[in-house]
Structure formats: structure tokens, C-alpha cells
Amino acid sequence: MSSAAVAHLPGTIRPADGSPTEPVAPTPLQEVPAIVARARAAQPAWAALSLDARAESVNRFGRALLERHAELAKVMAEEMGRSELECIGDELMSAKEFIKAAIGVARLALAPVKVPISKLDYPGKRAVIEAVPRGVVGIIAPWNYPIGNFFKHLFPALLAGNGVVLKPSEHTPRSGAWLAKLCAECFPAGLVGLVQGRGDAGQALLEGGVDALCFTGSVATGKRVSAAAGERLIPCSVELGGKDAAIVLADCDLERTLAGVATWSVFNAGQDCSSIERVYVEASIADAFARRMGQFVGALRVTPDPKADIGTLQNPRQLEIVEAQVKDAVAQGARVLCGGARTGQGLGFQPTVLDGCTEAMQIMREETFGPVVCIRRVKDAEEAVRLANDSQYGLNGSVWTRDIARGEEIARRLQVGVAVVNNHSLAGVNPWIPWTGTKDTGPGVANSVFAYPNYVRRRTVYVDAAKQPDPWWKPVDENFAPFAQALIERGLKGGLGVLLKLGGLVSKRSKAIRAAAQKTDSAR
């Protein structure tokens, strides 16, 4: 790749070969509030539709996406350096099933909740808790999955009755623009807006009047976004990366484990927040595991060709990070079993296996986001758990073993949001499962009913149909003290006698309060 190609601005080169593309104009910052306002203007009519009607529009979007998947895949491939086939497989082919599940989640999350109320304590009362859309939800997404990263927030936000404004990464603006264009064709005018640009565009979106924000990105930026959202008293869901660990036990199915760990290490060229970046292998199988992992990963091909296993890295900065971390690890004693260098074409980096990694190495502490498998030998599962938890991140963690019960026990000891036995990142594409983490991964939640505080607030509608005044209302008379004492007796010992006594006192108190109110009219 030429130095001239590296010098191009983000989003204006093709990662596959470094050739330039036409730049995408950023949205003028002063126009961002108007984009939010248009979404807000369209939102009430959208929210007034039934969930079934909103779901049909989202389904129509899904059908249109699949019908035009080849067109979108071409745009994504150009921006990501992946093959069109990989783009379809990673983000598009299951979109309709994802939407179907998201609608199921929405029906559960948005269903009114009837409140159980004691007829004795609160006669004639009923209450229901409803889900009310926030208004306009801003979604700031990263470049690694330029379409799929939007889905996990876009669909539930729309199904909940919100307007949405999308802010794609400056590295993948064309994919974001394509998505916004399809939204404009399938949803009411203005309901889904688009803001293009760098970090200042994201800041303008936050300051432009959104009612909630969903952010995926770096820890440093996520902290600033969270603080700014807190100042505005709006909910903010943040997902801030990971340094996922896999624990490989001696009794694992070695062939299946090799394929699984390798796949989740280099999937999307390792540009995945839940990519396996640390592999802790019990010593008794470490030699065989390392040797065969080197052979397996070393045979993988890197090109945007449809027959390739993985594509290139997406941008020059990410290539530099991966290359620097690998060089640091080698300088500190890591052994390169395969790969370890650029491919020489575009932003490609060879799938790499490093053996003999230690905690002193940068590549074992900081997010790599590249096609690198780092093997750390451990004496047993106890050491593996301790080292796996010794990280600033906590997104996914996995345990690979034939002993499922033991695997579950170990998985539950991992300090992560998603703990997996004999697999790894697959939970991220299931709308029923909360995609969340701990530590510097951030407290945000995507997918599942547990993500809905991002999209709705709760409203209680409380109805009193009682004909008599409540017994605790004013004024206080000679029956109030016995009434209060009867409530205390019910709490301490209960029994039918106490309930009958309490029922009589409730009736006396209510009649006395009504009588006192009646006297006010006669007094005039």
C-alpha cells in the first residue's frame, strides 16, 4: 500500500487496495437540530399507530433490505475491505429473522403491566404501567459492522414508537447513507434522520435535542458521551469495547475448539468488540493446541475475493495498532506461529497466532481489533479464570470443555456480561439476549427487553373508582387510632378476626369522612 493511500482522510479510501474514493460531505453542524426536529415532528403520528402497524413497516423495511441486498453489499464491501459475500453473511442474510425476533421482544417489552392492588387497603383502585416512547433516539455507531451495529437499536427504537437519528462512523459513511435512504423509503418522512461526520457531529447530535442516545465506541469517548447525557438528564446506553478471553480446558473437543476459537478470533478480521483476543490454554494440551492453531489460522486467506476467509482491516489507523501490538509482543518474547505482518495488499494483515504471550505485553491488555490469536499457557482452570478476569473490560467470555456442568460453573465466575460454554460471540445477533458488559465495556444494554429503558419511559395510570372516601383521609376521628392499630395487628399476626375487625373500621372511617364532607355544604 502506498503512503499516498494512507494519507487519505478516513472513509475516502478502499481498504482492499488503498485506492481513493470520493469523500462524503459531513452534515453542517448547524443543521443537526433541524434534523432532530424533523424526526420529532414525525414521531407523534408514528407513536399513535398500533404496534402491529409499526411492526408491519419494520417488516417491510426488512423485505426491502433483502430484495436489495446485493446493492448494499457492494457499498459495504467497498468501505470495509470484505468480500460482498462476507458482508451478506455477516450482516444481511439474517436481517429478516432478526426483525421477527425483535418484534417478539417488543410485544413483551411494550405490553402494559397490570398492578396487583389490595382490595382491602385500596378499595376500588386499579393501575397499569405503560411504556411511553422517549421521543427521538440518537444512534452513534462504529465502523466495524456499518449496518448491523444500527439494527440492535434502530428496530426496538422504532417499534417502541420513537423517531431516530443515525450517525454512522466517518469511516463508513456510504453504508450509513444507504441505510438512511432505505429508511426514508419505508417509514414516514423525517422519522429516521441522518447526520454524517466525525466526533463533532456526534456531539452536535447529543446537543441537538435527542431524548436518548445509544453509543458504541471507545472508552474515552463513551465516558464523555455519558457525562454529557447526564448533564441533559437523558438516558444513554454505551458499549465501549472488549478484550474477550477464551478458556480452553484439557478435556475440550480439540478439533471443534480449534475451529471455534479461530473463527471468533479472526471473524470480520478480528474487528469485533467480542472477538476472542486472549486464549488461556491448560498446559497439558498447550503444545498441541498452539501447533494446530498455527496451522489452522495460517491456512486462512485474506482478500476481498468471495472465496477468501476474511477481508482487510478497515482503516490505516487500525492497521497500525495491530501491527504495533504484534511487534511489541514479539519483542517481549512471543513466538509467531503464523502471520505477524501485513499482506502487502491494501490494509490486509495476515491472520496471526502468537504463542507464549504474557500479561506484560500490550496485546494482552489493550483492545487489538485485528486477526490475532494470543495464546497464554496456564497450569489449570483456576489460573485461567484469575487471568481472564484481570482485565479492564468485561463483554464476553467463554469456556471450552466436554464437561458441560463444569464449564457452566467456570463460566459463571467470569466477570462478563455474556458467559458462554463451547462457543463465543453468537449472543450478539439474538434480539432476545441482552448484549451487555461490565467494567470499562460499559453498562449499556442492547437487545432484549432489558434494553428498553433506552427507548421508553414508564408511565403509571392510576384509576380510583371507589364510591367511598379512603379510610386514611382527613379528618381524624375516634376510629382512626383503632384503624391504625388494626393495620399493625394484621402485619404482625394476621388472621380472619383481625381482617373482619379491620373491614368494619374501614367502613366506619369512610362513612365518617363522607359525613364530614357533607357538613361543609350544610354549613353554607
Q: Looking at 79, 239, 277, 367, which residue is catalytic?
A: 239
- Which is it for strands 372-378 and 352-355: parallel, antiparallel or unpaired? parallel
Which residues partner with 213 through β-bridges? Answer: 138, 236
**For residue 301, which phi and psi values (nearest 5 degrees)?**
-105, 140
- Let me know if 273 is a catalytic residue: yes
pLDDT of residue 10: 57
pLDDT of residue 524: 54
Interatomic CA distance for residues 436 and 428, integer angstroms:
9
| Record: fold of 244-431 | Aldehyde Dehydrogenase; Chain A, domain 2 (3.40.309)
Q: Which three cell numbers stand for residue 339?
A: 502471520
Q: Which three cell numbers stand for residue 230?
A: 447526564
Specify whether the CB–CB gap between 152 and 322 falls below 8 A.
Answer: no
Interatomic CA distance for residues 168 and 511, integer angstroms:
65
Task: Give CATH superfamily name and number for 31-240+450-459.
Answer: Aldehyde Dehydrogenase; Chain A, domain 1 (3.40.605.10)
- DSSP characters over 357-380: --TTSGGGTS---SSEEEEEEESS
pLDDT of residue 6: 38
Interatomic CA distance for residues 372 and 288, integer angstroms:
18
79, HSE (Cβ side, Cα atoms, 13 Å): 28
| Rounded alpha-carbon distances, angstroms, from residue 8 to 14, 143, 303, 344 | 10, 17, 21, 18
Interatomic CA distance for residues 348 and 342, integer angstroms:
6
pLDDT of residue 303: 81
Among residues 325, 369, 394, 242, the alpha carbon closest in space to that of 385 is found at 394
**For residue 282, which phi and psi values (nearest 5 degrees)?**
-60, 140
Among residues 221, 224, 289, the alpha carbon closest in space to that of 260 is found at 289
Interatomic CA distance for residues 162 and 47, integer angstroms:
7
> What's the chain's Rg over C-alpha atoms?
29
Burial class (CB in 10 A: 0-12, 13-18, 19+), 524: exposed
Q: Cis omega before residue 475 (within 30°)? A: yes
**For residue 356, which phi and psi values (nearest 5 degrees)?**
75, 30
Which residues partner with 125 through β-bridges? Answer: 464
Among residues 249, 362, 346, the alpha carbon closest in space to that of 354 is found at 362
Q: Which three cell numbers stand for residue 423?
A: 462457543
- Let me know if 338 is a catalytic residue: no
- How confident is the prediction along the chain (524 residues), in pLDDT tens digits per residue? 333 333 444 557 899 998 988 889 999 999 999 999 999 999 999 999 999 999 999 999 999 999 999 999 999 999 999 999 999 999 999 999 999 999 999 999 999 999 999 988 899 999 999 999 999 999 999 999 999 999 999 999 999 999 999 999 999 999 999 999 999 999 999 999 999 999 999 999 999 999 999 999 999 999 999 999 999 999 999 999 999 999 999 999 999 999 999 999 999 999 999 999 999 999 999 999 999 999 999 999 998 777 789 999 999 999 999 999 999 999 999 999 999 999 999 999 999 999 999 999 999 999 999 999 999 999 999 999 999 999 999 999 999 999 999 999 999 999 999 999 999 999 999 999 999 999 999 999 999 999 999 999 999 999 999 999 999 999 999 999 999 999 999 999 999 999 999 999 999 999 999 999 999 976 55
pLDDT of residue 7: 41
| Rounded alpha-carbon distances, angstroms, from residue 239 to 139, 165, 354, 363 | 12, 18, 28, 21
Domain segments of the chain as ranges? 31-240+450-459, 244-431, 469-523
Interatomic CA distance for residues 509 and 514, integer angstroms:
9
Q: Looking at 87, 236, 273, 374, which residue is catalytic?
A: 273
Q: What is the pTM of this model?
A: 0.94
